[in-house]
Structure 1
């Protein structure tokens, strides 16, 4: 068995100043920040091309007080944003980390826009659960793959080396200092990389079913919708190092994944007035709680499936997302002029579905506690069969305000940093605290903080 942490070799095959493990959003942002700070940077990535969980997402980053918000006439502050995070997470988060992320998110978006030319804009035509302001920032296609490609292009423009096909296996340690890593190549060969500063931007552990069963059994039956590279190495390295781990039961789920197509359906189909029904054509919960909570709610239904019901007006809003357009192109989204026709197509009782939709109040609170206001669902009606999925884990290595990894005693490892899936985010202790976009929020902010910290430490 490969050692997770060991003493360094007498010499390394390659030496660099700042070594970053993982070329997702966190790693690439960290690389840009470290390069800007004058550091010699090397990024290693296990995949053949950078992707990670970021590429599977909508690529939306919540941020307050940005130039894009001001241009759209949106009044928002870091304080309001921080309160939204804590409200959703039932005040289970460390307030210092929440404030750190909320205060730095806006400047990071502005920096990526102004310095590196990423064309962010704010989603202004619908609200996300838990956000009291419209603050979700994304690139034109609203696809995470576009975000990754843009960050990679920015790194290439700066001459930053990103080497793919190298999976980190062993960390080299000398006392509290990290000296480098051993990586495996696709041909099975091993290379050793030395460094003065190590940033773990690698992964969570959602793709490791043994760890999921151990730490979050409530989502164990969910489809794994994240990146298969999320095997938990960062967490396992942390355990071997004596690092502090926090909120390992926290995750982002998604209860609106087209089944069996495996395509994420934006939660806009719900927030704009749509609902979810089960095989009996009946609603079963308050959908306003959010899409992460929906994963567990949907999985609890017969067959672990449900049906999202909306209309053509809502479909037109959802069509700004590339995933939704893909779902339309493969026939996952069904559309009919009558509810009876839609029910027959989806395989649910027509009478029950008609009654369910008819029982939705025009303006007011329903029996589940959801508040409705505005336009009722109207023909043409749309529907899609969905199931619940685990998208990524939110717990991980505990860090300080400089993104340095903390030991179980609370002291910082001098040259070890973490962000993205490797670090503990701000979603509380379980799934119920997930605020839309928190994963990418943690990735981009902690990536910049870790990258811009001097080699001499915080």
Structure 2
């Protein structure tokens, strides 16, 4: 595993072996590499032909990957769940938000297609596979113009993964194996024929279709250094251990085109003392951040991904999240992550900002002035000193706070795919029998950190997973 975390696409080590050089040990129809959101959804979609055998190989002891570490909220436009609470929007509305966030740098056709398929994804999950999802209509993440997040119980990705795994394990024609990393692709003149997998004893598995759902490369510091901006290299890594870029390198060696490799999702509010995520719902309900001098240093509502860099640029790479009891009580019981963070002492409370900041370790007098100025602007409905208007609400005693730092969650660059999630070469041809989704495929966030709109990761993970599984099933 450590070796994989140091390899890059430019390495000389080959990760594709010729079919002439292997003897097949076993075979399957559809081989899914990775048991995260992409892989689990792809397997369910492929399994809908009961005559096909589907095999999932997950290299970690448990399934989930980054999906387990997320809120599990899946954005979609035009769903039945939205209409039931009076929300009427189109896929074009969702696509516009995504593209405006990344300055129209992402592939517009791919964005539009994934948005058009988003309602089908939600209805398929809920109606065909009985996955628990509900519409979130009590707050919006930065730059979402409408309530479109569809969340599992507890707004926790672990709960979404648990249901997906249960459906997989109860489906007769799906086999799920953990502690089973795919280490190489097997190909015949550029056409994928299977994989080599295993830790202590490798086996060659013949497959008619291979779907890469191994996520991105945020856990591979060599690749982060090669492709991403310098500031994020020193960020706390908050993603799954298995994100070492395996699928990206596999597909690239077969000629798959790479795109947006500098794109990633950061997060601005991971508690530095407990290592717990402080959900950005704290900020979007009115919380603010100050630095050690008690000063605001940017518009927090711009987005938690790019704001991670703003936090990292402060003294010691630390920010101080300030909010109030109204926010604390509103989020308690709604977010499993928030409840868990609170239970381990992430948040401190005090009757005054000065007292709170004295405990946290930042300048309380300056912070109190910053809060007062913020409150004045929020009450007036005007931009504050950093230009913020979104999610601005006056803060009132008692106050709560946490010491936070910027983190790296996952990468958003990878293999270029078509509308069926087939891996494409630079000339427009596709790598026969090979699909990719989630962090293994190039995302829809443009370049850098600033183009990430909340939910983009699960849009490509579950969206491409379903599309890959459907195409693999229908083409066999």
Q: TM-score range by the shorter chain?
A: over 0.9
Cα 1:340–1:129 change in 2 (3 A) is same
Cα 1:350–1:44 change in 2 (3 A) is same
Distance in structure 2 (CA, Å) of the matches to 1:157 and 1:99: 34
CA contact (8 A) 1:415 1:455 kept: no
| Residue matched to 2:60 | 47
What root-mean-square deviation, in Å, do the aligned CA atoms of Structure 1 and Structure 2 show? 1.5
**SS at structure 2 position matched to 1:389:** strand
Q: CA deviation at 1:365?
A: 0.6
CA contact (8 A) 1:399 1:405 kept: yes
Matches within 5 A, 1:168-187: 168-185=182-199
CA contact (8 A) 1:415 1:457 kept: no
Residue of 226, 238, 248 corresponding to 1:214: 226
Moved more, 405-414 or 366-375: 366-375
CA contact (8 A) 2:294 2:367 kept: yes
CA contact (8 A) 1:205 1:230 kept: yes
| Residue matched to 2:212 | 200
Distance in structure 2 (CA, Å) of the matches to 1:455 and 1:34: 5
Residue 400 of structure 2 is aligned to residue 382 of structure 1: yes
Any idea what the Cα deviations from partners look like across 1:370-409, whole Å, max 9, x if unmatched? 1167741011111011000000000000001110000122
| Residue matched to 2:5 | none
| Residue matched to 1:5 | 16
Residue 363 of structure 2 is aligned to residue 349 of structure 1: yes
CA contact (8 A) 2:422 2:431 kept: yes
Residue 309 of structure 2 is aligned to residue 309 of structure 1: no
Structure 1 unaligned spans of 5+? none
Distance in structure 1 (CA, Å) of the matches to 2:87 and 2:351: 37
CA contact (8 A) 1:404 1:418 kept: yes
Query: What TM-score, normalized to structure 1?
Result: 0.97
Any idea what the Cα deviations from partners look like across 1:249-274, whole Å, max 9, x if unmatched? 00000011011211111111111111
| Residue matched to 1:105 | 118
Cα 1:56–1:419 change in 2 (3 A) is same
CA contact (8 A) 2:320 2:362 kept: no
**SS at structure 2 position matched to 1:199:** strand
CA contact (8 A) 2:353 2:368 kept: yes
| Residue matched to 2:341 | 327
| Residue matched to 2:159 | 146
**SS at structure 2 position matched to 1:74:** coil
Distance in structure 2 (CA, Å) of the matches to 1:21 and 1:351: 54
Any idea what the Cα deviations from partners look like across 1:122-144, whole Å, max 9, x if unmatched? 11111111111011111111111
**SS at structure 1 position matched to 2:154:** coil
Distance in structure 2 (CA, Å) of the matches to 1:353 and 1:70: 42
| Residue matched to 1:297 | 310
Distance in structure 2 (CA, Å) of the matches to 1:139 and 1:456: 29
| Residue matched to 1:433 | 451
Distance in structure 1 (CA, Å) of the matches to 2:255 and 2:77: 35
Structure 2 unaligned spans of 5+? 1-11
| Residue matched to 1:156 | 169
**SS at structure 2 position matched to 1:242:** coil
Q: CA deviation at 1:297?
A: 0.6
**SS at structure 2 position matched to 1:449:** helix
Distance in structure 2 (CA, Å) of the matches to 1:250 and 1:195: 32
Cα 1:286–1:375 change in 2 (3 A) is closer
Q: CA deviation at 1:457?
A: 4.5
Q: Would you say how many aligned residue pairs link Structure 1 and Structure 2? A: 456
Q: CA deviation at 1:180?
A: 0.8
| Residue matched to 1:336 | 350
Query: What TM-score, normalized to structure 2?
Result: 0.93
**SS at structure 1 position matched to 2:47:** helix
Any idea what the Cα deviations from partners look like across 1:226-246, whole Å, max 9, x if unmatched? 011101111211221111000
